[in-house]
Amino acid sequence: MQLTSHLYRALENDELYIEYQPQVSLKTGKITGVESLLRWKHPQLGLISPSVTIPLAEKTGLINPIGEWVLETACRQNKIWQDMSIPPILMAVNISASQFKNPLFIKQVEQVLKKTGLKPEFLEVEITESIAIMEFAEIVGKLIEIKALGISIAIDDFGTEYSSLGRLKKLPIHRIKMDKQFVDGIGQNHKDQAIATAIIDLGKSLGLSVVAEGAEFEDQVAFLKTSQCDEIQGFYYYKPLNAAAIEKILKNEE
Ligand code: G
Ligand code: G
Ligand code: MN
Ligand code: NA
């Protein structure tokens, strides 16, 4: 397909960039981190969604160079903000299953940290339940190595696939990101709302922090606050924004 050959050139042609969506602490009201989100601006076709780009990159093997580019660009950006004496925040980077599976992945991450000078405690990798294509023991082994580097680990889209609780308790992770579908149900659907509460309580009892994704309305935020959810990433606070816009917001927060 033609889009594939365009993606080959996208990296070289500087058509890829990153937007950053803030995560806000419900305790302090301050930004504690941002998630990096890939954007592709094609010269003729315009903006192409990562839900197209990422699967295409996975199919063609381009996920490795593109994923590495995202990781490096996001880490470098976080270091740039820190060098401006802005209070340090966490940079969350999505890692697709095939990147995670790559035997060179951990080396890549170490090299990026070294190259950019970002301390590991300011990086978080987001993985999804799709990594279950690997043997469970292999997943745990890899996560232990990542954790040992001092990097934070989050499970993204939590609750959407076969979230085995027996497995969850064995994963050396720091955070869970509750999927938007449960946040959408707050005040709308009593089952989704009950699951939202249960996910927060589960996180608490396992010693994990919980980020709620995709909160758009005040009543959702109020409910999540009462339920003692830790952070919110959603349009209610901020949409994904370019680096310059984030810099302004972070400077104004001081
Ligand atoms: O930003 P948006 O809602 O359009 O993102 C759509 C999907 O693409 C999300 O599920 C997100 O996790 C994924 N995504 C965005 N950026 C990246 C990236 O750099 N790497 C990977 N693997 N997935 C990404
Ligand atoms: O799947 P993942 O969590 O990585 O992707 C996050 C995606 O969710 C981003 O593409 C982001 O644009 C989108 N998103 C974040 N907050 C909201 C929100 O409040 N409403 C909607 N519709 N999308 C959101
Ligand atoms: Mn994510
Ligand atoms: Na998600």
Q: How far apart are CA 220 and CA 160, in angstroms?
A: 19
Which ligand is closest to the CA of 62, given by its number? 1
From the CB of 128, is ligand 1 less than 6 Å away? no
By C-alpha distance, which of 196, 201, 194, 195 is closest to 215? Answer: 196
Q: Which pLDDT score, from 0 to 100, does residue 137 have? A: 94
Rounded to whole angstroms, how far apart are CA atoms 99 and 96?
A: 5
Asked if residue 2 has pLDDT above 90, the reply is no
Q: What is the mean pLDDT of the chain?
A: 95
Name the percent of the chain lying above pLDDT 90: 90
Give residue 164's pLDDT.
81
Structure confidence by residue, pLDDT tens digits, 42-93: 999 999 999 999 999 999 999 999 999 999 999 999 999 999 989 999 999 9
Using DSSP, state whether 100 is helix, strand or coil. helix
User: Do 117 and 78 form a contact (C-beta atoms < 8 A)?
Assistant: no
Give the Å distances, CA to CA, from 81 to 8, 135, 153, 250: 30, 38, 22, 9
- pLDDT recorded at residue 118: 98
Cα 35 to ligand 3 centroid, rounded to whole Å: 7
- What secondary structure letter does DSSP report for 86? P
Q: Given this model, what pLDDT does residue 183 score?
A: 97
**pLDDT greater than 60 at residue 1:** no
Which residue from 89, 166, 87, 167 is spatially nearest to 127, judged by alpha carbons?
167
Q: What is the pLDDT of residues 158-187, one digit of tens each?
A: 988 867 888 899 999 999 999 999 999 999
The pLDDT of residue 171 is: 94
Distance in Å, CA 153 to ligand 4 centroid = 14
pLDDT in tens, 113-126: 999 999 999 999 99
CA distance to 69, 169, 180, 201, per residue, from 173 (Å): 24, 9, 20, 16
CATH class, 2-249 region? alpha beta
- In a mutational test of the pocket of ligand 1, which residue from 11, 38, 73 has the highest number of ligand atoms less than 8 Å from its CB? 38
Across residues 85-108, what is the average pLDDT? 96
Q: Tell me what pLDDT residue 5 has.
A: 87
Say if residue 42 is exposed, middle or buried (CB neighbours under 10 Å; 0-12, 13-18, 19+): middle
Q: Is the ipTM of this complex over 0.95?
A: yes
E strand or H helix at 230: none
Q: Tell whether ligand 1 has an atom less than 6 A from the beta carbon of residue 73.
A: no
17-37 pLDDT, tens digit each: 999 999 999 999 999 999 999
Q: What mean pLDDT do residues 1-11 have?
A: 86
Over residues 129-153, mean pLDDT: 94
pLDDT reported for residue 162: 67
What residue segments make up the domains of the chain, in order of their start?
Answer: 2-249
Nearest C-alpha neighbor of 63 from the set 17, 21, 15, 100? 100
Task: Say what the pLDDT of residue 110 is.
Answer: 98
CA angle 49, 52, 55 (to 5 degrees): 135
The pLDDT value recorded for residue 235 is 98
Ligand 1 pocket test target in 37, 98, 181 with most atoms within 8 Å of CB: 37
Count CB-CB contacts under 10 A for residue 142: 19
Residues 103, 132 contacting (CB under 8 angstroms):
no
